[in-house]
Structure 1
Amino acid sequence: MSFELPKLAFLLPRNAEYVGQWHTVPIGLSRQFQAQAESRLFLIDAALLAGRLPRRGRFGHKGTYGHALLLLGSRGKIGAAVLATQACLRSGVGLLTVRTPAVGYDILQTSAPEAMALTDPAADFLSELPELTPYSAIGMGPGIDKADSTKVVLEQLLRTAQVPLVLDADALNLLGANPDLLALLPPDSILTPHPKEFERLSGSARDDYHRLELLREFCHKHRCYTVLKGAHTCLGTPTGELYFNTTGNPGMATGGSGDVLTGLLTALRAQHLSALDAALLGIYAHGRAGDLAARHTGEVGLIAGDLTRFIGPTLQELTTPDAF
């Protein structure tokens, strides 16, 4: 039990066995004082997100809501491409083009007919960066593997992109293996590592508290937003604030969940949301979709594809406050 607000220790993995289920209890502290108190630690909840996701205009059209490009997949990993694609489509983007190796063409056209498939000349891996002019945001990483040709594509993307980037999975592993590429990272990019991927980017942490300091330093140095995934996913910002998520459940610890998050974040950035708003909304909606899905499947039976079904209802909640 904690008065008014949780303690940071409640949110860190190594303390889980000592904390168990935690609850906050109001004791009448001034809400005005709390709002004015200086802090660099925040919880991502519905109150924090109020008003950040614009309602759709009656006369909006597909051009209003952005054109996203996803660079996805390799032989044996087209499933990751499908999950990210379906999540992006469910997250409100107006148009979506998916660049995939030739091996993924039939699969993507069948599983996501609403997306346009742009086939790479290579059969098994991404080998060329397409023309980027049409796009308002670009996501890269799920299923791409770490072929030399794919590293070249990533470097070209970092050097030439003029729109927001979302990087995940093997795009992050390529950055970790080639630190010189980090210097090319455009400001306000969103990175979505799990703890081991983050370790490859920033070095080993002594403990959970040190990892948060490394997160702050990394985001400040590279002027990026980093989504450190976990039970209370933590968003690091270039200015040093840390935001901890309040949605999600252990059933989401399954392959493909991160691919869904990549598609969701890319769609929000394509709709011209700021990096901070897109990251906060995406993290919360991802976890909330998992909570809604678990009501139907249970946590043990939850798979990543279930998350995509509940992204729409979650985003509807965020534009309809009374739904809570």
Structure 2
Amino acid sequence: MKQPISIHKAEIIQRYKPIDSQTHKGIQGHALIIAGSYGKIGAAVLASRACLKSGCGLVTSYVPECGYEILQISNPEVMTLSDESEKFISNITFNIKPQAIAIGPGLGQETETQKAVHDFLKTNSVPLVIDADALNILSINKQWLNLLQPKTILTPHPKELERLIGKWTSDEDKFDKTITFSKQYNVVIVMKGAPTFIIDGETVYENTTGNAALATAGSGDVLTGIITSFLAQSYEPSIAAILGVYLHGFTADIALPETGYQSFIASDIIKYLGKAFLSLEKNK
């Protein structure tokens, strides 16, 4: 493996595009977040709010029927579509034209949900972020990996990565297997951890932001929302992943003096996004 490219603020500023003063919501991108199941609707709430708070012009959530009111009340700025099933997603249909889609947070792995994911992947041509249970569904049905659009972004934590690529014997083996997987399926992999690495074929990026405060429930759902937002704003997939991971970690660095490690929660990542963006704008 080649030496990873270290992602510092200077690299981020080169890749980051400030908002055009003449823009409007219709050209800031429309993202669709397919997420949630009974008891895990919070994942859809967090991902869609993070997506909106990262500059996306419009965000629509697609949730089971039981999540409809929760989304409408908790995220009034987010539009909501609901599945025909009450407790889980069983048939993904929508008549909007998003620029990017995320699928997986809190999704569950019901048989009907697995079929819905398969049918969606078979016809989808929109840039995509795959997380959480959608990754686990792919691990159970590895032949479906061939349905993915080029440069689809996968965001596994260590256990999800292991299910996808198999067990590894050392760090070197883990990277070799992940690079091989990335090349085989032409996907971008966000290898979550401390630090997080972004792998796009032979190219490996190492993130430099973040701390132990991020080890908290919902942190990954928020990251998915942020990356999807950049994808909807027409960033290249690998750059969307790099920017998303950097800013996600940066919020925890900014917040730490105020929150400490223990009381920082996933909602705080979203809360501190404004300060993280302002820091980039200043340097731009």
Whether these two folds match at TM > 0.5 is yes
How much has 1:157 moved relative to structure 2? 2.1
Q: How many residues align?
A: 284
The residue aligned with 2:171 is 208
Q: Which amino acid aligns with 2:13?
A: A
Q: Which amino acid aligns with 2:66?
A: V
The residue aligned with 2:121 is 158
Q: Which amino acid aligns with 2:105?
A: P
CA offsets 1:60-95 (integer angstroms, 9 cap, x no match):
000111110000100000111111111111010000
C-alpha distance in structure 1 between counterparts of 2:278 and 2:123, whole Å = 35
Q: Please give the secondary structure, in 1, of the residue aligned with 2:39.
A: coil
CA offsets 1:217-275 (integer angstroms, 9 cap, x no match):
1110110100010111011102x111111100011111110000000011110000001
Q: Given that residues 100 and 231 in structure 2 are in contact (C-alpha distance below 8 angstroms), is that contact kept between their aligned partners in structure 1?
A: yes
The residue aligned with 1:225 is 188
The one of 274, 277, 282 aligned to 1:315: 277
How much has 1:132 moved relative to structure 2? 5.7
The residue aligned with 2:150 is 187
How much has 1:138 moved relative to structure 2? 0.2
C-alpha distance in structure 2 between counterparts of 1:319 and 1:274, whole Å = 20
Q: Given that residues 88 and 263 in structure 1 are in contact (C-alpha distance below 8 angstroms), is that contact kept between their aligned partners in structure 2?
A: yes
Task: Give the 3 Å change call, closer, same or farther, for CA 132–162 of structure 1 in structure 2.
Answer: farther
Q: Percent identity among equivalent residues?
A: 43
Q: TM-score scaled to structure 1, two decimals?
A: 0.85
The residue aligned with 1:44 is 7
1:242-281 to structure 2, matched below 5 A, reads 242-281=204-243
Runs of 4+ in structure 1 off by over 6 angstroms are: none
The residue aligned with 1:70 is 33
Q: Given that residues 198 and 238 in structure 2 are in contact (C-alpha distance below 8 angstroms), is that contact kept between their aligned partners in structure 1?
A: no
C-alpha distance in structure 1 between counterparts of 2:152 and 2:236, whole Å = 10
Matched, 1:287 2:224: no
Q: TM-score scaled to structure 2, two decimals?
A: 0.97
1:21-170 to structure 2, matched below 5 A, reads 40-131=3-94, 133-170=96-133
Q: Given that residues 86 and 263 in structure 1 are in contact (C-alpha distance below 8 angstroms), is that contact kept between their aligned partners in structure 2?
A: yes
What runs of 5+ residues in structure 1 fail to find an aligned partner? Answer: 1-7, 9-38
Q: Given that residues 132 and 161 in structure 1 are in contact (C-alpha distance below 8 angstroms), is that contact kept between their aligned partners in structure 2?
A: no
More displaced stretch, 109-118 vs 129-138: 129-138
Q: Please give the secondary structure, in 2, of the residue aligned with 1:68.
A: strand
How much has 1:320 moved relative to structure 2? 2.9
C-alpha distance in structure 1 between counterparts of 2:281 and 2:156, whole Å = 28
Q: Given that residues 140 and 168 in structure 1 are in contact (C-alpha distance below 8 angstroms), is that contact kept between their aligned partners in structure 2?
A: yes
Q: Given that residues 54 and 319 in structure 1 are in contact (C-alpha distance below 8 angstroms), is that contact kept between their aligned partners in structure 2?
A: no
Matched, 1:298 2:276: no
Q: Which amino acid aligns with 1:93?
A: C
What runs of 5+ residues in structure 2 fail to find an aligned partner? Answer: none
